[in-house]
Structure 1
């Protein structure tokens, strides 16, 4: 996995966790869902990068 992609995915996951926490704190279900979605996107991208790495070897 490229270091830049890994860092970008980690940043997106952290951003998602922050959104989710903020949404929970203020009772905003939409913001909470957006945060959860951001985390899911980051996890999916990370999994795709790992698959690419397997086929590079």
Structure 2
């Protein structure tokens, strides 16, 4: 498994936590940062998946 997949998954989790905390305390900026982090993590995870697919061929 490529390291980008692991890091990407961690960023998604971090983003979900930021969104939840931001909603709980009413901090729109924190919610926005969390959503951005989730997208960033999904993209990095996809890149890692592509790397894994290329290594397998």
Report the TM-score range of the alignment, normalised by the length of the smaller protein.
0.7 to 0.9
Question: Where do 4+ consecutive residues of structure 1 move more than 6 Å?
Answer: none
* Residues 9-48 of structure 1 mapped to structure 2, 5 A cutoff: 9-48=8-47
TM-score by length of 2: 0.81
* Deviation (angstroms), 1:7: 2.6
Gaps of 5+ in 2: none
- Pick closer, same or farther for the CA change 1:30–1:18 going to 2, 3 Å: same
Q: In 1, are the aligned partners of 2:5 and 2:44 still within 8 Å (CA)?
A: no
Gaps of 5+ in 1: none
How many residue pairs end up in the alignment?
56
TM-score by length of 1: 0.81
* Deviation (angstroms), 1:8: 1.9
RMSD: 1.4
